[in-house]
Each structure stands twice: as structure tokens, then as C-alpha cells.
Structure 1
Amino acid sequence: MAQYQTLLYYCYSPIENAEKFAEDHLEFCKSLNLVGRIIVADEGLNGTVSGTPESCKAYMEQVHSDPRFAKTEFKIDNVDEPSFIKMHCRYKSEIVHSGLRNPEEIDPNKQTGKHLEPQEFLAMKDQDDVVVLDVRSNYEHNVGRFKNAVTLDIENFREFPEKVKELEHLKGKKILTYCTGGIKCEKASALLLKEGFEEVYQLHGGIIKYGKEAGGEDFEGECYVFDNRVTVPVNSVNPSVVSTCKNCGKVTAKMINCANPVCNEHFTQCDDCGWEMDGCCSDACKTHPRKREYDGTGYYVKVPQPVNVEKISKRKHKKLVKN
């Protein structure tokens, strides 16, 4: 038996007094010595937790015992060490920020694209009348994506509604959406249907489930995950690496965070450039006074920051570097 496990899951199910639920759920997770990150909203749960197999089993049983979350599907990975440092459980307005002024415009419990199991997705994805659409952010699909998938230039899923306008020419096609675990597709597919796309599907369980049940066939590169592992391999059939080092262009699957905490950009960087650039994405970041010490991993534990610190958006940073 594995020493530790990591659970990835979500469930769209209304929660009354969700803020109080988040507080109580945090204490429950801590009682099991779990670590991870859970988002609680009025619309449901979205989480990744990690701990011993016994603790993970107890957690899943408790979640399933609640009628609101009985349908929750857990993706389980065996890991050598816990995938987080601490346990966080926070209340937010949505479990996935839709970017809509009125998030209630779409409700995954009422309408979403047709769910395709991994083998169904595999059978459909290469048909002539099908478009495979990646609804994830740039840093996610840059390190791994399905062969011939349409990708969107977005830094966060909240930008997705605006990008739908760029997909008008695909109306009339079968749209197969996919994401890491399925949660973003619930809203993305619902929004596509609302905007007049008629045949919309989604990969049930996302890339992670596809890797487990369909061998990850034709998924090029690795899958970005929101924990200490950063990326995980999913393709055991015809694996490949598609990402390249931001600095030198050499093929590499390694993704890190910039050592400059003000930037903190997710990007791919080979080991040679990692040491040469001291874990930074640019010379400007390399000389930043608050640059963190690079240890070869590119992963940094979050620490409390001063109240008035310099903050710049990634886009502004890119402009600064470019100029």
C-alpha cells in the first residue's frame, strides 16, 4: 500500500451557510491530519487533499455520507509524500470563478455538455466534425495538451466568457471540452450551450481520469496540477514532451514558479537555465530585491507578506520585460 494518497474532486451541490461549513470542514480535515486546498461556495465543493490512505479513506467516506455530496467522484493518486504543506479550506463566491457578472446565469446542476467517459472521448476526438477544446489557462496547456486541441490565450478561467466570441466559427461542430479534473468544463460547456453551440461535450473526470482509464493516449506532455507536484505524467501509450524552456528553447517538461514573488509566473525552464537564471523568468526578476532563494525545485512555500508590497500583474510584468 502507498504511504500517501492525493485526492482530487469537486461537487456542484448547494450548501446552506457555506461559510460556517468551510470552518467546520477545515477542522474535520485537520482532525484527520490531511493537508490540501479546498474551496467552499454556495454552489458546492472543489478540493485536493493529501494524507495517509487511512485518512483519505475516512475523508471520502465522510463526504459520501452527506446526501449533498454522495455523487462526488474522487480521483486517487498514490504519492511518495503529501502533496501540500498545510491544510486550507476557504469560502469563496464560486468554486470556479466564471468571470460572469451574474454567475447564476449558468448552473451545472441544470445544464452542461454531455459527459463523455474516457473511452468515449478517445473514440470521438479524431472525428472530422469534432473540435477538441482546452478550457484551461496558458500555463496549464503550455506544459501539456491533447494532440490538435484548440487552446485559448487566457491567464485565468474568468477570461473564458470573453474568449467564447473567438469560437463562433466552430458552431456546427461537435465541441469536446476538457480540463484537469472536469470542474471547469461544467461551467465552460454550460456557457457554450448558452451562447448557441448546439453539440457540446465534456471529458468526465478530466485529464486525470483519462490517464487512468484510457492510458492518456494522445495527451502530449504532462498535466499541470494545483499542488506541490506541479505536473504529473498521464500518457502511458504514446508519451511525448511538448513544452520548451522559456529561456533557451530546449525541450523540457519542468515547470516552476519565478523566484521573484512579485512575478511568481508559472513557466517551463530546463535545469541548466534554472541555475543560470537562479529560478527566474527574466533578468529583471533575477535582480529583484525580494527574489527568493532557488533550490532547484522552483516551488516556494507561501509566507505572510507586508501590507504594502509592490504588486504588478503578470501582463504588466511581461510588458516591462519586453520593453
Structure 2
Amino acid sequence: MTQYQTLLYYCYSPIEDGEKFASDHLEFCKSLDLVGRIIVADEGLNGTVSGTVEACKSYMDAIYADGRFNKTEFKIDAVDEPSFIKMHCRYKAEIVHSGLRDPKEIDPNRQTGVHLEPKDFLAMKDQEDVVVLDVRSNYEHNVGHFKNAVTLDIDNFREFPEKIKELEQYRGKKILTYCTGGIKCEKASALLLKEGFEDVYQLHGGIIKYGKEAGGEDFEGQCYVFDNRVTVDVNSVNPSVVSTCFNCGKQTTKMINCANPTCNEHFTQCDECGWEMDGCCSPACKENPNKREYDGTGYYVKVPQPVNIDKISKRKHKNFPPKVSVED
């Protein structure tokens, strides 16, 4: 019997005094013994939380009882153990950083792409006049993406507005956007509409819901998630592996953190290279005297580390994501 669940959700709904809400909400989550990461902004909530089945039900009941978040749709996964170590709830300017000088330029509550249920997305995605657009970051679509999807070279969603000009060749086509749980598409599709694209759609509930309701058909690889699981399987129809080891190029779905705590970068590495490199991304990191002991998992509890210039430069490589939380 399943003892734990992980909930992925978001809701665009105005929150007055978001900072106080975040503080109070953190204490509420702790009272339920939940762990996870939640971003609170004046525009709404964006979170992933994990705990017992009973605690997760209590949390969902409370969210709906609030009244402001009745549009929330929880994606629920059964897990063997909680998907986080601690509980964080932080107030930020946006629940997904849009990269706009004035974030109020777009409001998903007023204008966004047409929501497509998974079965409708599946029916449309291969039509001749359709372009399937992945609005996620490099490290996400490198490990998994829809077949024939258009991907953008971005390290963070805040870079998306600057990339829209690269999509000019697709004007006049139907643009089907997708992301992990749907939250990025709310803003991506709104931005596309603002820039004059007319037929813009989004996969409602994202890849996670598509996996549950459409079997994940034609999603190649695995889906990156923002918790300790790192990646999850979504395709039960025609699964495949598309990601490769950062060190040797061999196909692998395993993503780890570098054993050098000053680096701590997140990258794909096969088991063979993992043991050979002691869980490090480079020979230099392998020689670091403070290297953590590699146990085959490549997961370590993060602790604050001094800023390292070499580490910052490494993030420019497409396999190295910036540090993110929830669905940034």
C-alpha cells in the first residue's frame, strides 16, 4: 500500500500580502510534516510537496477550502519515500520568472493559450500545420522531449522572451506549447499571443498529466522533475532514452550532483563513469580534497558553499542547469 505521495501544482490567483502568506503557509506545511518547495508571489502559488497520503489529502483539502485556489489541479504521484528532505516556502516577485522588465505585461488569468487536454494534444501534435514547442530549459529537454519538438537554447525560462524572435518562421502555424506541469506554458503562450502569434495552445497539466492520461506516447526519454527523484518515466507506450553521459557520451537517464561540493553541478552520468569519476563531472573536481563520498546515487544534502568562478562558467554548458527550485 502506498504510504507517500508527491504533489505537483500551481495556481495563478491574486494573493494579498504574499510575504505573510508564505510565512504562515510554511508553518502550516510543517504542521502536516510535509516536505517540499513552494514559491508564493502576489500572482499565485507554485509548488511541489511530499508526505504521507493523509498529509497530502489534508493539504489539498486546505488549498481548496481557501477559496482563492479552486482552479488548482494537483498532479499526484505515488512514491516510496518523500521526495524532499526539508520544507521551503519562499516569497518571490513571480511564481515563474518571466524575464520581463514589467511582469504585469502578461496575466495568465486574462490571456493565455487554449488549454488542450492530453488526448486532444495527442490528436493534434502530428498535424502538418502544427509546431510542438518545448518551453523548458536545456537540462530539461536534454533528458526528455516530445518527438520532433522545437527546443530552445535557454538555461532558464527568464530567457524565453528573447528567444521568441527565433520562432518567426512558425507564424501562421498552430503552436502547441508544453512543459512539465503546465505553469511555464501559461506565461509562454501569453507571451506568444502578445507578440502576435494567433493560434497558440498549451498542454493542460503538462507532461506529467500527459503521461497519466495519454500514456506519454511519443515523449522520448524521461521527464525532469524538481525534487529528489530528478527524472521520472512518463511513456508507457513507446519509451526510449535520449540523454547521454556528460563524460563518455553513452546513453543514460541518470542525473547526479557533482561530488565536489564547491561545484555541486547537476549533470547526466552513466554508472560506469560515476564510479570511475567518483561521482565528479571533471578530473579537477575529482581531485578536490573536500570531495564527498560517492555512493552510486550522486545525491547529497546541499549545504552553502563559497562562490566559485569556474563553477559559474561551467553553467554555460547546456548540460549544466542553473540552480532552480520547484518549476522555475
TM-score, shorter chain, exceeding 0.5:
yes
Query: TM-score normalised to the size of structure 2?
Result: 0.93
Written as runs of structure 1 = structure 2, the 5 A alignment for 1:171-320 is: 171-305=171-305, 309-312=306-309, 316-317=313-314
List per-residue Cα deviations over 1:183-207 (Å, max 9, x = no partner): 0000000001111111110000000
> What is the match of residue 320 of structure 2?
none
Aligned residues: 317
Of the structure 1 ranges 260-269 and 18-27, higher mean CA displacement relative to structure 2 is found in 260-269
Q: Distance between the aligned counterparts of 1:121 and 1:61, measured in 2?
A: 30
Residue identity matched to 2:180: T
Paired residue secondary structure (2:5): strand
Paired residue secondary structure (2:285): helix
Paired residue secondary structure (1:68): coil
Of the structure 1 ranges 310-319 and 32-41, higher mean CA displacement relative to structure 2 is found in 310-319
Residue identity matched to 1:117: E
Contact 1:119 1:214 in 2 (8 A): yes
User: Per chain length, whose mean CA-contact separation is higher, i.e. which structure has more relative contact order (CA < 8 Å, sep 6+)?
Assistant: 2
Paired residue secondary structure (1:152): coil
Paired residue secondary structure (2:38): strand
**How far did 1:318 drift?**
6.1
Contact 1:125 1:132 in 2 (8 A): yes
> What is the match of residue 124 of structure 1?
124
Contact 1:263 1:312 in 2 (8 A): no
**Residue 57 in structure 1 maps to residue 57 in structure 2:** yes
Q: Distance between the aligned counterparts of 2:86 and 2:122, measured in 1?
A: 37
Distance 1:173 1:313, change over 3 A: farther
> What is the match of residue 44 of structure 2?
44
Q: Distance between the aligned counterparts of 2:152 and 2:261, measured in 1?
A: 26
Distance 1:115 1:247, change over 3 A: same
Paired residue secondary structure (2:68): helix
What's the % identity of the aligned pairs?
A: 84
**How far did 1:319 drift?**
7.4
Q: Distance between the aligned counterparts of 2:144 and 2:270, measured in 1?
A: 16
List per-residue Cα deviations over 1:125-158 (Å, max 9, x = no partner): 0001111000111111111100000111111111
**How far did 1:264 drift?**
3.0
Query: Runs of 5+ in structure 1 lacking a partner?
Result: none
Query: TM-score normalised to the size of structure 1?
Result: 0.95
> What is the match of residue 67 of structure 2?
67
Q: Distance between the aligned counterparts of 2:307 and 2:265, measured in 1?
A: 15
Contact 1:263 1:317 in 2 (8 A): no
> What is the match of residue 134 of structure 1?
134
Residue identity matched to 1:22: A
**How far did 1:244 drift?**
1.0
**Residue 27 in structure 1 maps to residue 16 in structure 2:** no
Of the structure 1 ranges 249-258 and 146-155, higher mean CA displacement relative to structure 2 is found in 249-258
Contact 1:112 1:190 in 2 (8 A): yes
